Amino acid sequence: MEIVLHLGAHRTGSTAVDQALSRNRRLLWENGIGLRLPGDLRAIADFGAVAELAPRAAEAAEAARRLGGVRAAIDRQVRMATRRGRVRLILSEENILGTMQGNLRARALYPDLAPRLAAYAAVLPAPARIGLAIRSYDTVWMSMVRHVSHAGHPVRGRGLAAALAAAPRGWPEVIGELRAAFPAAAILVWRQEALAGNVTAVARRLAGLGDGVAMIPHEAVANASARYAAQDGAAVPRLAFSAAEAERLRARYRADLGRIAAMAGGVTLLDPAEVPT
Protein backbone atom coordinates (compact mmCIF):
# COMPACT_ATOMS: atom_id res chain seq x y z
CA MET A 1 0.00 0.00 0.00
CA GLU A 2 1.42 3.36 -1.05
CA ILE A 3 0.68 6.18 1.39
CA VAL A 4 0.32 9.82 0.34
CA LEU A 5 0.23 12.56 3.00
CA HIS A 6 -1.44 15.88 2.22
CA LEU A 7 -0.26 18.25 4.95
CA GLY A 8 -1.75 21.58 3.96
CA ALA A 9 -0.34 23.94 5.06
CA HIS A 10 -2.88 26.16 6.81
CA ARG A 11 -4.33 29.07 4.80
CA THR A 12 -2.79 27.91 1.52
CA GLY A 13 -5.89 26.54 -0.22
CA SER A 14 -5.62 23.05 1.23
CA THR A 15 -9.38 22.89 1.74
CA ALA A 16 -9.88 23.49 -1.98
CA VAL A 17 -7.53 20.62 -2.81
CA ASP A 18 -9.40 18.37 -0.38
CA GLN A 19 -12.68 19.39 -2.03
CA ALA A 20 -11.28 18.47 -5.44
CA LEU A 21 -10.19 15.07 -4.14
CA SER A 22 -13.57 14.50 -2.53
CA ARG A 23 -15.39 15.56 -5.70
CA ASN A 24 -13.40 12.90 -7.56
CA ARG A 25 -13.69 10.21 -4.92
CA ARG A 26 -15.33 7.76 -7.31
CA LEU A 27 -12.62 8.33 -9.94
CA LEU A 28 -9.95 7.78 -7.30
CA TRP A 29 -11.69 4.59 -6.22
CA GLU A 30 -11.83 3.30 -9.80
CA ASN A 31 -8.07 3.87 -10.04
CA GLY A 32 -7.28 2.01 -6.83
CA ILE A 33 -6.90 5.08 -4.61
CA GLY A 34 -8.51 5.46 -1.20
CA LEU A 35 -9.06 8.81 0.52
CA ARG A 36 -9.17 9.83 4.18
CA LEU A 37 -9.88 13.52 4.66
CA PRO A 38 -9.28 15.58 7.83
CA GLY A 39 -12.70 14.75 9.24
CA ASP A 40 -12.00 11.03 8.87
CA LEU A 41 -8.66 11.24 10.66
CA ARG A 42 -9.89 13.59 13.39
CA ALA A 43 -12.62 11.05 14.16
CA ILE A 44 -9.92 8.60 15.30
CA ALA A 45 -9.63 8.85 19.07
CA ASP A 46 -6.46 10.73 20.09
CA PHE A 47 -5.26 11.33 16.53
CA GLY A 48 -5.00 15.03 17.27
CA ALA A 49 -3.21 14.35 20.57
CA VAL A 50 -0.36 12.25 19.16
CA ALA A 51 2.27 14.99 19.55
CA GLU A 52 1.25 15.60 23.18
CA LEU A 53 1.15 11.90 24.07
CA ALA A 54 4.44 10.87 22.46
CA PRO A 55 6.83 12.54 24.97
CA ARG A 56 5.06 10.78 27.85
CA ALA A 57 4.73 7.35 26.28
CA ALA A 58 8.07 6.00 27.50
CA GLU A 59 7.14 6.49 31.16
CA ALA A 60 3.34 6.68 31.21
CA ALA A 61 1.49 3.49 30.38
CA GLU A 62 -1.74 5.36 29.65
CA ALA A 63 -0.07 7.58 27.05
CA ALA A 64 1.55 4.55 25.43
CA ARG A 65 -1.81 2.76 25.36
CA ARG A 66 -3.52 5.71 23.69
CA LEU A 67 -0.77 6.03 21.09
CA GLY A 68 -1.08 2.33 20.42
CA GLY A 69 -4.78 2.86 19.84
CA VAL A 70 -4.07 5.50 17.18
CA ARG A 71 -1.55 3.24 15.47
CA ALA A 72 -3.98 0.32 15.51
CA ALA A 73 -6.79 2.46 14.08
CA ILE A 74 -4.60 3.65 11.20
CA ASP A 75 -3.45 0.09 10.54
CA ARG A 76 -7.09 -1.00 10.35
CA GLN A 77 -7.79 1.74 7.82
CA VAL A 78 -4.87 0.56 5.68
CA ARG A 79 -5.91 -3.10 5.89
CA MET A 80 -9.49 -2.22 5.00
CA ALA A 81 -8.35 -0.23 1.97
CA THR A 82 -6.12 -3.12 0.89
CA ARG A 83 -8.95 -5.63 1.18
CA ARG A 84 -11.07 -3.38 -1.01
CA GLY A 85 -8.45 -3.36 -3.72
CA ARG A 86 -6.82 -0.01 -3.04
CA VAL A 87 -3.14 0.27 -3.92
CA ARG A 88 -2.73 3.86 -2.70
CA LEU A 89 -4.22 5.71 0.27
CA ILE A 90 -4.29 9.51 0.61
CA LEU A 91 -4.28 10.81 4.19
CA SER A 92 -5.04 14.53 4.46
CA GLU A 93 -4.60 16.50 7.70
CA GLU A 94 -2.89 19.87 8.00
CA ASN A 95 -2.92 19.81 11.81
CA ILE A 96 -0.13 17.23 11.75
CA LEU A 97 2.11 20.25 11.15
CA GLY A 98 0.75 22.16 14.14
CA THR A 99 -1.91 24.83 14.57
CA MET A 100 -2.40 28.42 13.53
CA GLN A 101 -2.82 29.47 17.16
CA GLY A 102 0.42 27.73 18.05
CA ASN A 103 2.22 29.55 15.25
CA LEU A 104 0.91 32.92 16.40
CA ARG A 105 1.66 32.29 20.08
CA ALA A 106 5.24 31.33 19.24
CA ARG A 107 5.51 33.99 16.52
CA ALA A 108 7.09 31.34 14.33
CA LEU A 109 6.11 29.04 11.48
CA TYR A 110 5.38 25.59 12.94
CA PRO A 111 7.98 25.94 15.70
CA ASP A 112 7.50 22.44 17.15
CA LEU A 113 7.41 20.68 13.81
CA ALA A 114 10.35 18.29 14.26
CA PRO A 115 9.03 16.57 17.42
CA ARG A 116 5.48 16.59 16.02
CA LEU A 117 6.61 14.83 12.86
CA ALA A 118 8.62 12.31 14.87
CA ALA A 119 5.51 11.53 16.91
CA TYR A 120 3.27 11.07 13.88
CA ALA A 121 5.93 9.08 12.02
CA ALA A 122 5.65 6.52 14.82
CA VAL A 123 1.91 5.96 14.24
CA LEU A 124 1.60 6.42 10.47
CA PRO A 125 2.80 4.13 7.69
CA ALA A 126 5.83 5.59 5.93
CA PRO A 127 4.56 7.83 3.12
CA ALA A 128 5.80 7.50 -0.44
CA ARG A 129 4.77 11.06 -1.23
CA ILE A 130 4.00 14.23 0.75
CA GLY A 131 2.06 17.20 -0.59
CA LEU A 132 2.65 20.69 0.86
CA ALA A 133 1.32 24.06 -0.26
CA ILE A 134 3.20 27.23 0.65
CA ARG A 135 2.32 30.92 0.50
CA SER A 136 4.04 34.29 0.71
CA TYR A 137 4.85 35.10 4.32
CA ASP A 138 3.04 38.44 4.43
CA THR A 139 -0.29 37.05 3.24
CA VAL A 140 -0.12 33.73 5.06
CA TRP A 141 0.41 35.47 8.41
CA MET A 142 -2.38 37.95 7.72
CA SER A 143 -4.67 35.08 6.75
CA MET A 144 -3.84 33.11 9.90
CA VAL A 145 -4.58 36.10 12.13
CA ARG A 146 -7.83 36.78 10.30
CA HIS A 147 -8.97 33.16 10.49
CA VAL A 148 -8.07 32.67 14.16
CA SER A 149 -9.74 35.96 15.10
CA HIS A 150 -12.92 35.11 13.20
CA ALA A 151 -12.98 31.73 14.95
CA GLY A 152 -13.33 33.55 18.27
CA HIS A 153 -9.71 33.55 19.41
CA PRO A 154 -8.54 37.18 19.39
CA VAL A 155 -4.88 37.54 18.56
CA ARG A 156 -3.14 39.93 20.90
CA GLY A 157 0.44 40.89 21.50
CA ARG A 158 2.34 44.09 21.01
CA GLY A 159 4.91 43.95 18.29
CA LEU A 160 3.36 40.89 16.62
CA ALA A 161 3.84 42.18 13.08
CA ALA A 162 7.47 43.11 13.70
CA ALA A 163 8.16 39.73 15.33
CA LEU A 164 6.62 37.81 12.44
CA ALA A 165 8.47 39.93 9.90
CA ALA A 166 11.74 38.99 11.61
CA ALA A 167 10.90 35.33 12.31
CA PRO A 168 13.83 33.13 11.26
CA ARG A 169 11.85 30.03 10.25
CA GLY A 170 10.46 29.75 6.76
CA TRP A 171 9.20 27.18 4.29
CA PRO A 172 12.67 25.73 3.51
CA GLU A 173 13.08 24.90 7.20
CA VAL A 174 9.65 23.25 7.25
CA ILE A 175 10.50 21.18 4.18
CA GLY A 176 13.89 20.26 5.63
CA GLU A 177 12.21 18.86 8.73
CA LEU A 178 9.74 16.93 6.58
CA ARG A 179 12.69 15.38 4.74
CA ALA A 180 14.34 14.43 8.02
CA ALA A 181 11.19 12.82 9.42
CA PHE A 182 10.23 11.00 6.22
CA PRO A 183 13.51 10.48 4.33
CA ALA A 184 12.07 8.02 1.80
CA ALA A 185 9.18 10.28 0.75
CA ALA A 186 9.06 12.43 -2.36
CA ILE A 187 7.89 15.93 -1.39
CA LEU A 188 5.64 17.80 -3.79
CA VAL A 189 5.43 21.56 -3.11
CA TRP A 190 3.15 24.06 -4.80
CA ARG A 191 2.47 27.78 -4.37
CA GLN A 192 -0.89 29.04 -3.17
CA GLU A 193 -0.48 31.99 -5.52
CA ALA A 194 -0.59 29.63 -8.52
CA LEU A 195 -3.51 27.57 -7.24
CA ALA A 196 -6.44 29.61 -8.60
CA GLY A 197 -7.83 27.74 -11.59
CA ASN A 198 -5.36 24.87 -11.05
CA VAL A 199 -6.79 23.14 -7.98
CA THR A 200 -7.87 20.05 -9.90
CA ALA A 201 -4.45 19.78 -11.55
CA VAL A 202 -2.74 19.82 -8.16
CA ALA A 203 -5.15 17.24 -6.75
CA ARG A 204 -4.51 15.05 -9.77
CA ARG A 205 -0.73 15.23 -9.33
CA LEU A 206 -0.99 14.62 -5.59
CA ALA A 207 -3.14 11.54 -6.17
CA GLY A 208 -0.66 10.18 -8.69
CA LEU A 209 -3.20 9.72 -11.47
CA GLY A 210 -1.78 8.87 -14.89
CA ASP A 211 -1.73 11.32 -17.78
CA GLY A 212 -4.66 9.55 -19.42
CA VAL A 213 -6.95 9.93 -16.40
CA ALA A 214 -8.85 13.21 -16.29
CA MET A 215 -10.38 14.41 -13.03
CA ILE A 216 -13.86 15.89 -13.04
CA PRO A 217 -13.61 19.70 -13.15
CA HIS A 218 -15.76 21.54 -10.67
CA GLU A 219 -16.21 25.30 -10.99
CA ALA A 220 -16.80 25.94 -7.29
CA VAL A 221 -13.67 24.00 -6.39
CA ALA A 222 -11.57 25.43 -9.20
CA ASN A 223 -12.28 28.98 -8.04
CA ALA A 224 -12.09 28.32 -4.30
CA SER A 225 -8.53 29.51 -3.81
CA ALA A 226 -9.25 32.76 -5.67
CA ARG A 227 -12.24 33.33 -3.41
CA TYR A 228 -10.13 32.69 -0.30
CA ALA A 229 -7.45 35.04 -1.60
CA ALA A 230 -10.00 37.79 -2.12
CA GLN A 231 -11.31 37.34 1.41
CA ASP A 232 -7.82 37.37 2.86
CA GLY A 233 -6.89 40.45 0.88
CA ALA A 234 -9.01 42.66 3.11
CA ALA A 235 -7.23 44.66 5.78
CA VAL A 236 -6.61 42.80 9.02
CA PRO A 237 -6.86 45.31 11.88
CA ARG A 238 -4.86 43.20 14.31
CA LEU A 239 -1.92 42.63 11.99
CA ALA A 240 -0.60 45.46 9.88
CA PHE A 241 2.86 45.02 8.39
CA SER A 242 4.62 48.22 7.49
CA ALA A 243 5.43 48.64 3.81
CA ALA A 244 9.05 47.77 4.56
CA GLU A 245 8.11 44.67 6.57
CA ALA A 246 5.73 43.43 3.88
CA GLU A 247 8.34 43.89 1.16
CA ARG A 248 10.95 42.13 3.31
CA LEU A 249 8.60 39.16 3.73
CA ARG A 250 7.83 39.03 0.01
CA ALA A 251 11.51 39.26 -0.87
CA ARG A 252 12.30 36.44 1.53
CA TYR A 253 9.56 34.32 -0.01
CA ARG A 254 11.01 34.88 -3.48
CA ALA A 255 14.45 33.90 -2.23
CA ASP A 256 13.07 30.86 -0.44
CA LEU A 257 11.31 29.69 -3.60
CA GLY A 258 14.76 29.57 -5.16
CA ARG A 259 16.10 27.58 -2.23
CA ILE A 260 13.23 25.11 -2.47
CA ALA A 261 13.60 24.72 -6.24
CA ALA A 262 17.28 23.88 -5.71
CA MET A 263 16.63 21.26 -3.04
CA ALA A 264 17.69 17.71 -3.85
CA GLY A 265 16.42 14.55 -2.19
CA GLY A 266 13.08 14.22 -3.92
CA VAL A 267 11.73 17.76 -3.41
CA THR A 268 9.77 19.10 -6.40
CA LEU A 269 8.45 22.67 -6.65
CA LEU A 270 5.41 22.22 -8.85
CA ASP A 271 4.04 24.75 -11.30
CA PRO A 272 0.34 23.79 -11.27
CA ALA A 273 -0.23 25.41 -14.66
CA GLU A 274 2.10 22.85 -16.24
CA VAL A 275 0.14 19.84 -14.93
CA PRO A 276 -2.35 18.40 -17.45
CA THR A 277 -5.93 18.39 -16.19
Residue 142: which of 269, 4, 239 has the closest Cα? 239
pLDDT in tens, 184-228: 999 999 999 998 888 998 999 999 997 778 787 755 544 554 555
Enter the DSSP assignment of 54: G
DSSP-assigned states of every residue in 178-210: HHHHSTT-EEEEEEGGGTTT-HHHHHHHHHT--
* % the chain with pLDDT above 90: 79
Give mean pLDDT, residues 94-110.
Answer: 97
Report the top-level CATH class of 2-274.
alpha beta
Domain boundaries, the chain: 2-274
Name, in order, each residue with C-beta under 8 angstroms of 243's C-beta and a sequence gap of 6 or more: none
* Cβ pair 206, 4 in contact under 8 A: yes
**Is residue 181's pLDDT more than 80?**
yes
What's the N-to-C CA distance of the chain in angstroms?
A: 25
Give mean pLDDT, residues 105-130.
Answer: 98
What's residue 29's pLDDT? 96
Give this prediction's pTM. 0.92
The mean predicted confidence, pLDDT, of the chain is: 91
Give mean pLDDT, residues 34-59.
Answer: 97
Q: What is the distance of C-alpha 191 from the center of its chain?
A: 12
